[in-house]
Structure 1
Amino acid sequence: MISNKKVYRLCKAMDLLRPQREKRIQYPKKLARNRIITGSNQLWEMDVKYGYIEGEERFFFVLSLIDVYDRSVIDYHIGLSCSGSDAVKTLQRALLKRQQFEQANKPVIWTDNCPQFISHAFEAACERFGIEHERIPPRTPNMNAHIEAFHRLLEEECLGRMAFDSYKEAYQAVMEYKKFYNERRIHSSILDLPPHEFYKKAQTESLIIKEVRV
């Protein structure tokens, strides 16, 4: 008969051999704070919008990342699903396009509290990339005004005007609209220039626009 002491030692040894569960890091929630934006790559906003495919009777996702100062849609994700990993890839591509990984002062990223942005994958990536992630309070979409304004244009000038028969058709339409928005659609807030043109000019010229307060 095995004594209670031996049973205790055996159980303890088994616990030591059993793989230990990893402790999940808890990232502190940072609320968006008021800022004055004076140039590109200081504040980016990110949000998710839905579109509908009539021919397939299902929704698709459009995740966009915009620069508050120059209004460019730097990168985006279009898909039948949208996860925290998709948000991470979008942010990573944007950082590469704007060559921000080498910068000491990287952009602050503002999002709402959608599942993609409160996910462990997204928070861990922001930490890894050296990005400060701030979240706007619930039910305050006006605090993400620039990305909300872009998605409103996307709805009025693209999604709301077309009945898509397939996901392929919807994907192509959104891609074409984003290209039009960045390269041809003028904005009064950036000297009546398209976002990409304004961004390029601002790299070599001193452009004066109305102060951007958020």
Structure 2
Amino acid sequence: MTSGDTAGGRARRGRLEAAHVWTATLTGVVALGISLFNLAELQRGPDVDVTLPHVIRIEPHAPGGTVHLFVQPTIATRFRAEDVEIITNIGLHLLPAGKGQQPLFHWNEVGAWTYDFASNRLNYNRTADPSPLVVNQDKPQQPTFLFHSNDWHLHAGRYDGTLVLSRSSDRAPVKKPFCLDISKDALQTFAKAPERQFYELRNDVNPVTGRPQGESSCYAF
């Protein structure tokens, strides 16, 4: 082996060792960056995601001449965080698209639906008073909220609605818009309904054709 070969070998080894050092350093920097990012994500407050159902139920003749709306959203957080989010209040607002008084709703209770095979119908049961909901990634919530109105005088037409979830943190409330489309035929059906009769308003099926429709459509009977 000549002295030139020896010098060349040492040079190659030096370059390999330098590349190894830079690779290890780069790997460490990337790992540190990922760790810092994950730590920041964990320390960040949870982002609440609310998904509205395909079905909203209405009880046009509730006890005392009132109207009930039943909404069962899915409330969850998509990313893991150290803190949990607490939903302190749920509000529902409906605004007639045309002329008409805006009905007032309040969150009355939480309930659940059970299916009666003998009568082939759903029965509603109260399960809890309105109370704060704890939401984290491991515990999504899917409660049925009953909203009560003393002054909703049903009229045919469109109603623009908003479901509002207030949070215990200093973040702004979560707002989910939707709309109801009450047809004249639906109004006649509701007018003849006995007390404790529930009707489904869907946003995924056209009430006239029975065909699927986009989720951005209004809830209709």
TM-score w.r.t. the length of structure 1 is 0.27
Task: Flag the structure with higher helix content.
Answer: 1
Task: Flag the structure with higher strand content.
Answer: 2
Query: Greater Rg, structure 1 or structure 2?
Result: 2
